[in-house]
Amino acid sequence: MHFSEPVYRNPYWPTWPLIQITQGCTHNSCKFCTMYRDAPFRMQPMEWLEEDLRELQASDPHAKTIQLLSANPLALSYDRLMPRLELIRKYLPELEHMYASTRVDDIRNKTVEQLRKLKEIGVNEISLGVESGDDWTLQRINKGYTSQDILEQCHKLEEAGIAYWMTFLNGVAGREHSHEHAVNSAKIFNQCKPMLVGTGGLTLFPGTPLLEEAQRGEFTPLDERELMQELHTFLSLLDRDCELNTHHTSSLYLSGPFLSRKQQILDALQEAIDHADIDAMTLRRQQKRGL
Ligand code: SF4
């Protein structure tokens, strides 16, 4: 298989098989991320794709699911993307789901009709690394789109019938703007229809501009208790009947159906805010080496 490093697969989707149709990330400049810093965006050569598909066909000819790599494969225009998806279907005709993580603005260059065709061929569930619905925060972390873009592109996905996940990056606005990040993100997420909301706490990895800003005193990261307080504010305002996934450093079990368990989740979070071992949580975050 032709995989270029780093290979990041969404851990919540079926683990196998994976197929790389692009390399790197088109944006590559979010301030908290260095994952694809040394991997410029490129299309995977068609001959590599076809070789990989022959391998997959030999090992798993009845595959029902596949994850499309890399960071944002849907950045390709419809005219470039569709032939690649058709090739995948030619080799794996029983596929039912082609999962992909991608950026909000990758949807912009596709019409609703084109999105419907992507859904028909199997792209029926995607994950959007939204991170925030607050415009100050989106600009601060150089996300490259606005809250209005989030609304417009998510509504197109809804029209086309493509299910989508939205992520909330807990802590990314720092202490100064934490409240607005939580409140405005909930406002935007509430105007969308994600099948799942995912949350992860910000970890400042070496080499990220945000860590450098923190070292210069220009960004104040939240401590573990403040992260949970921000998440509590966000979830208390979130009003979507969706699934919740979290990979917080606390051992709290918050994942599962959200709205029907909302009060239970908020109570558990409040209990952790009041009594969790913050030192242990801080240590766990310091030991994290990747998302
Ligand atoms: S967070 Fe996602 S969109 Fe931003 S640079 Fe990293 S991979 Fe690219």
* pLDDT over threshold 60, residue 133: yes
* pLDDT over threshold 90, residue 160: yes
Ligand 1 centroid distance, CA of 30 (Å): 6
* pLDDT over threshold 80, residue 289: no
Amino acid at 25: C
Q: C-alpha 171: how far from its chain's center? A: 15
pLDDT reported for residue 256: 87
Give me the domains of the chain, ranges plus CATH numbers.
Answer: 1-102 (3.30.750), 126-291 (3.30.750.200)
pLDDT in tens, 29-46: 999 999 999 889 999 999
Q: What is the mean pLDDT of residues 101-120?
A: 98
SS (H, E, C) 5-44: CCCCCCCCCCCCCEEECEECCCCCCCCCCCCCCCCCCEEC
Residue 237 backbone dihedrals phi, psi, to 5 degrees: -95, -15
pLDDT reported for residue 12: 82
pLDDT reported for residue 113: 98
pLDDT reported for residue 252: 66
Helix, strand or coil for residue 227? Answer: helix
Q: Which of 58-67, 128-137, 200-209, 249-258 has the lowest mean pLDDT?
A: 249-258
Residue 159 backbone dihedrals phi, psi, to 5 degrees: -60, -35
Q: What is the mean pLDDT of residues 253-279?
A: 90
Ligand 1 centroid distance, CA of 185 (Å): 18
Q: Kindly report the protein residue whose alpha carbon is nearest to atom 8 of ligand 1.
A: 28
pLDDT in tens, 56-86: 999 999 999 999 999 999 999 999 999 999 9
pLDDT reported for residue 263: 95
In angstroms, rounded to a whole number, what is the distance separating the alpha carbons of residues 99 and 30? 23
Which residues contact residue 219 at a Cβ distance below 8 angstroms, ignoring those fewer than 6 apart?
A: 174, 210, 213
pLDDT reported for residue 146: 98
Read off the DSSP letter of residue 153: H
Contact of 217 with 161, CB cutoff 8 Å:
no
**pTM (2 decimals)?**
0.94
Identify the residue with better confidence: 150 or 254: 150
Q: Kindly report the protein residue whose alpha carbon is nearest to atom 5 of ligand 1.
A: 28
33 Cα nearest atom in ligand 1: 6
pLDDT reported for residue 291: 65
pLDDT reported for residue 26: 96
pLDDT reported for residue 46: 95
Find out whether the beta carbon of 103 lies less than 6 Å from any atom of ligand 1: yes
- Other Cβ atoms within 10 Å of 63 Cβ, number: 21
Residues composing the chain: 291
* pLDDT over threshold 90, residue 114: yes
Read off the DSSP letter of residue 106: G
Ligand 1 centroid distance, CA of 102 (Å): 9
36 Cα nearest atom in ligand 1: 7
Q: Kindly report the protein residue whose alpha carbon is nearest to atom 6 of ligand 1.
A: 33
Contact of 154 with 193, CB cutoff 8 Å:
yes
